[in-house]
A and B are shown apart, each in its own frame.
Chain A
Amino acid sequence: MKHYYSFYHSSVRAKIAGVILLAIGIAFFINPTSLNIKMGFASILIGIFVIFMLTKNSVPKTISDDQIKGNITAVKQIIEKLHLKGNAVFLPKTAPLTEERVLIPPNNMDVIQIPDIADDDVFLTRAGGRNLGISMPPSGLKLLKKIEKEAHFENTEVKDIEDKLQKFVGIDLIDSLSFTKHNNGWILEFEKPYYCPNDENLCKQYPCPTCSAILTAITRTADGSQCKLWIKDVKHNGGKMAFHLHFIKKRTTREDTHC
């Protein structure tokens, strides 16, 4: 396979800058006074640091954005065609589910009917054919599994999850993140991920991979319980976004039945 190197690639630019610094550093040693030795050493050190630290090879942003955009558009169309108006409920890994799922209910009424969902269930109906919404794997589940090679979110209490969620900042998916208790619920606030569809309705119903991975990680605090993570609201504010979240019991979003 051919490898193409472009000057516009940040790691290539970093290597060029590093080599220039190394050359400058070596040049200082030609006339080795005390100050020149130190300046040469500093230049060589920074050069080595730049070469070895900035090695991230990445897909150009426009291409990776387009890859996500295609999937997001498909899901958005499915939601629209099925006339689903409810906000997403993240279901934790509780028997019979072996992986987290996102339930998109048909509406946002106080009572959300959450049937027993198995891994294979997608279109959810009640006896009599009443539509209960759809259940899909979270778009960020694969991403979360990748991140979990470095940080585990299972068996974490909800009050401790904010610290663990900083891993998403560490791997450069987002710039900052906070997860704070607010009244009966929680507010998850962070700077918009590098790809954001900027569509509040879509964020409420089927968040894009980065947001979904964060929400799935939070859902893991409810593993094995009857609590589900419900997106009550999503607010975009310039470069930031906030998810208003509630842990709800099996069938309702009313405040008196929150977990």
Chain B
Amino acid sequence: MLMAERITLFIAAWVVAMLFVTGDTDIEAFIILIFIGLLIAKEFTGRFTTIQLKHRMNIFVGVFFIVFVVAIVKKILVFINLS
């Protein structure tokens, strides 16, 4: 199995697992857990992957990082408004 296929399979399995873990809760936790999965996949496969594959992974990580930051900012704003 190719490295790209292994990574894709891991991410797909991770997303499905996190879907079951988070159940009916809000989508932000689900997205953050997917982001963690992406980081795990990137970190553990770093030395095995080609530059092109790393670039593609980085795009996904970058997008999810932005979403992660937005989610955190939203939570902070909610917290500030509450207090």
A46 at the interface (CB under 8 A from B): yes
**A39 and B19 in contact (CB under 8 A), knowing A170-B48, A170-B49?**
yes
Determine how close the nearest CB of chain B comes to the CB of A30; give it in whole angstroms: 17
Q: Known pairs A35-B23, A52-B60, A163-B47; list 15 more (Cβ under 8 Å).
A: A38-B30, A41-B31, A42-B16, A42-B19, A42-B30, A45-B15, A46-B12, A52-B59, A53-B7, A55-B4, A56-B2, A169-B3, A170-B47, A170-B49, A170-B50
- The contact string, 1 if C-beta is below 8 Å from chain B, for chain A 16-56, is 00000000000000000011011101100110011011111
A172 at the interface (CB under 8 A from B): yes
User: What are some 17 contacts across the A-B interface (CB < 8 A)?
Assistant: A34-B26, A39-B19, A41-B31, A42-B15, A42-B16, A46-B11, A46-B12, A52-B59, A53-B8, A53-B53, A55-B4, A56-B2, A167-B48, A170-B47, A170-B49, A171-B50, A172-B3
Docked CA distance A41–B32 (Å): 13
In this complex, what residue of B is CB-closest to A150?
B51
Interface residues on A, range: 20 to 34
B43 at the interface (CB under 8 A from A): no
Determine how close the nearest CB of chain A comes to the CB of B29; give it in whole angstroms: 10
B34 touches A45 (CB 8 A): yes
B48 touches A166 (CB 8 A): yes
B4 touches A56 (CB 8 A): yes
What residues make up the interface of B, taking CB atoms closer than 8 Å to A? 2-5, 7-8, 11-12, 15-16, 19, 22-24, 26-27, 30-31, 34, 45, 47-51, 53, 56, 59-60
Partner of B15, one of A35, A46, A54, A150: A46
Determine how close the nearest CB of chain A comes to the CB of B81; give it in whole angstroms: 23
Partner of B19, one of A38, A56, A150, A163: A38
**A54 and B19 in contact (CB under 8 A), knowing A38-B27, A38-B30?**
no
Partner of A166, one of B2, B47, B50: B47
Determine how close the nearest CB of chain A comes to the CB of B70; give it in whole angstroms: 15
Docked CA distance A54–B56 (Å): 10
Chain A residues with CB under 8 Å of B23's CB are 35
Chain A residues with CB under 8 Å of B51's CB are 150
A52 touches B30 (CB 8 A): no
Most B CB within 10 A of own CB, among A38, A54, A167, A172: A38
Determine how close the nearest CB of chain A comes to the CB of B52; give it in whole angstroms: 9
Partner of B60, one of A42, A49, A50, A55: A49
Docked CA distance A38–B30 (Å): 8
Determine how close the nearest CB of chain A comes to the CB of B71; give it in whole angstroms: 13
A41 touches B24 (CB 8 A): no
Docked CA distance A167–B48 (Å): 6
